[in-house]
Amino acid sequence: MPSLLAWSLIVLALGPTVLGAPSSSEYVRAEEATIWLANESEIALERILSNIGRDGQYARSAEPGIVIASPSTENPDYYYTWSRDSAVAVRTLVELFRNGKSGLQTHIMNYVDAQAILQTVSSPSGSLTSNGTGLGEPKFRVDEKAFIGGWARPQHDGPALRAIALIDFGNWLLDNKYEKLARNNVWPVVRNDLSYVAQYWNQTGYDLWEEVSGSSFYAASVQHRALVAGEAFAHRVRDSCDYCKSQAPQILCFMQSFWTGSYINANFGGGRSGEDASTVLASIQSYDPAGSCDDFTFQPCSPRALANHKVYTDSFRSIYALNKDIAQGAAVNVGRYPDDVYYGGNPWFLTTLAAAEQLYDAIYTWNRFKSLTITSTSLSFFRDLYSDAAVGTYDASMSTFKDIVAAVQIYADSYVALVQSYAMTNGSMSEQYDKTVGTQISARDLTWSYVALLTANMRRNAIVPQPWGKPNFSSIPSICVATAATGTYATAQVSPWPSTLTSANGMTRAMAMTIPYAAITTVAAHAQRPLILL
């Protein structure tokens, strides 16, 4: 790792020739932030495990495998398990497990079993049997009983996210010769969720922030990804998913209608302007590192998603006092959406980290394909970071490629630097930090804040998710139709697990490194730290 002196030398060497490049203080700040990021990742995993029943220190009254959203029991009371937050957390645990954190196995197996139980709980949303409407229930009590109070129901993204997490684990089982476990323990839970997605994706529901009812881009994106991955998984466990196959292309078709021409409109219904962190979350959660920068699945490096990144982040520049002295083109604190009023409307840790993660994903793909394209759609995004940016395709051997990638890397690291500024010295991160003074507010130790930190750290270190079979433009139907399909709902039996799962391939961690990662420029090569899983 270069010393700060070496950094100043690199910066001096580059400084005068690169227009619009980050200043030397930005390099130094970004470098410090990435040291912090690696350290904070260890804390983040610890805190996530603290929020999982029954051994987690903040989740002792939760059943095994139940993930609480936060230990906070009042103002706000988040001591519940949300299908969405839990799935996003466990998906990340599965990713760490796949990359060598074998100690996470028990938590993942407990989660699978807990979900088999939760799927059968009748709630105000309905039940599992007959029509599956119970799967749209957003949250449950930690003792696996229904929450019967008033709430924003139903929410359609939860089953899709759970399917994605379970399919990732199921694919690991299949890759490591545990076909029976994938088939008997995982697939029956997944099948219920895929059936729900296929049946209800084209009906209105509440968005991920539990506020507006309508159609959500985020929900559509994760539903599409779940059905595509689900169909492939069904075949791997020697079953089939015709309802996945029939509905996925229609969801992809519907997703195109959220593109406004300059950014992604987060929702139809709800009367908002549409700039929203959920669109960035959709992009990073549907990242396929084997695929190119295509606009149709809104890949993180796609012109549409980059243009959207700019419009979304710019929408917070003038509304938070915390962003007052930050120049255009430098990272800003970002929240859910500009007109947010929850706790007064503030930046969130998970959203500021998501802004970084999208850029790390993009960098990975540009390096992997050794090429970067600027289109008229993405030009304004690049101009902010590199004032000479022009429409064109830049090969990795060109200095423009190297300079742009270096500028994007520093820009991404600067989002992490903001998070570092507002995290507590003991590493704790709540849900939000005050838009004026930066103190932490709302739910303490939010599980999702830590998850967002871990995924940002992995992407920065070129540890990327498994490819999920992203389709291409030619698989979008020419006409979008309102449609649905009916699958199968059946109680998944909780089946025994072996006490240890061993990788048939030796250290799985090595596999993550087989996707080539080209060193880019002196600056970026140094900025790209050696592989630190945690």
Q: Binding of ligand NAG at residue 184 (CB under 6 A)?
A: no
Instruction: For residue 26, give the nearest of 280, 324, 385 by alpha carbon.
Output: 385
Minimum CB distance to ligand NAG, residue 246 (Å): 13
| Distance set, CA 33 to CA 28, 312, 421 (Å) | 9, 23, 9
How far CA 51 is from CA of 37, 70, 527, in Å, comes to 21, 7, 32
Residue 357 has which token pair? Answer: 């993660």
Those residues with Cβ within 8 angstroms of residue 199's Cβ, 6 or more apart along the chain or in another chain = 131, 132, 243, 484, 485, 486, 487
Check residue 202 for interaction with ligand NAG (CB under 6 A).
yes
**Pick from 149, 397, 481, 506: which binds ligand NAG (CB under 6 A)?**
481
The correct pick among 3, 397, 474, 478 for binding ligand NAG (CB under 6 A) is 474
Q: Is 472 in the site for ligand NAG (CB under 6 A)?
A: yes
State yes or no: residue 499 binds ligand NAG (CB under 6 A).
no
Q: Using alpha carbons only, what angle is made at residue 16 by residues 10 and 17, rounded to the nearest 5 degrees? A: 90
* 63 counts as catalytic: no
Site of tokens 């130094």: 28
Letters for 418-447 (x = contact with ligand NAG by CB under 6 A, - = none) are ------x-xxx-------------------
CA–CA separation, 275 and 257 (whole Å): 15
Shortest Cβ 508–ligand NAG spacing (Å): 27
Contact mark string toward ligand NAG, 242..261, x via CB under 6 A: -----------xx-------
Among 329, 291, 307, which Cα is nearest to 376's? 307
Residue 398 or 480: the one with the smaller Cβ distance to ligand NAG is 480
Residue 450: count other Cβ atoms within 10 Å of its Cβ. Answer: 29
CB atoms closer than 10 angstroms to residue 510: 11
Q: Check binding of 131 to ligand NAG (CB under 6 A).
A: yes
* Residue in 39, 213, 292, 371 binding ligand NAG, rule: CB under 6 A: 39
How many whole angstroms separate alpha carbon 493 and alpha carbon 491?
A: 6
Structure tokens at 417: 């630097």
Q: How far is the CB of 12 from ligand NAG (least distance, A)?
A: 26
Q: How many CB atoms within 10 Å of residue 295?
A: 17
- Cβ of residue 481: shortest distance to ligand NAG, in angstroms? 6
Of the pair 279, 313, the CB lying nearest ligand NAG is at 279
Minimum distance between the CB of residue 35 and ligand NAG, rounded to whole angstroms? 6
Mark whether 395 is an active-site residue.
Answer: no
Are 480 and 253 spatial neighbours (Cβ–Cβ below 8 Å)? Answer: yes
Rounded distance between C-alpha atoms, residue 263 and residue 473, angstroms? 19
Active-site pick, 210, 211, 239, 295:
210
Out of 204, 491, 495, 522, the residue judged to bind ligand NAG by CB under 6 A: 204
Judged by CB under 6 A, the stretch of 2-10, 164-172, 202-210, 361-369 that binds ligand NAG is 202-210
What are the structure tokens assigned to 274, written together? 């549409």
CB of 474 to ligand NAG, least distance (A): 5
- Rounded to a whole number of angstroms, the CA Rg of the chain reads 22
Q: Which of the residues 26, 137, 193, 207 is marked catalytic?
A: 207
- Please give the residue ranges that form the binding site for ligand NAG (CB under 6 A): 35-36, 39, 43, 126, 130-131, 133, 202-204, 215, 253-254, 424, 426-428, 471-472, 474-475, 480-482
Query: So which residues are the catalytic ones?
Result: 207, 210
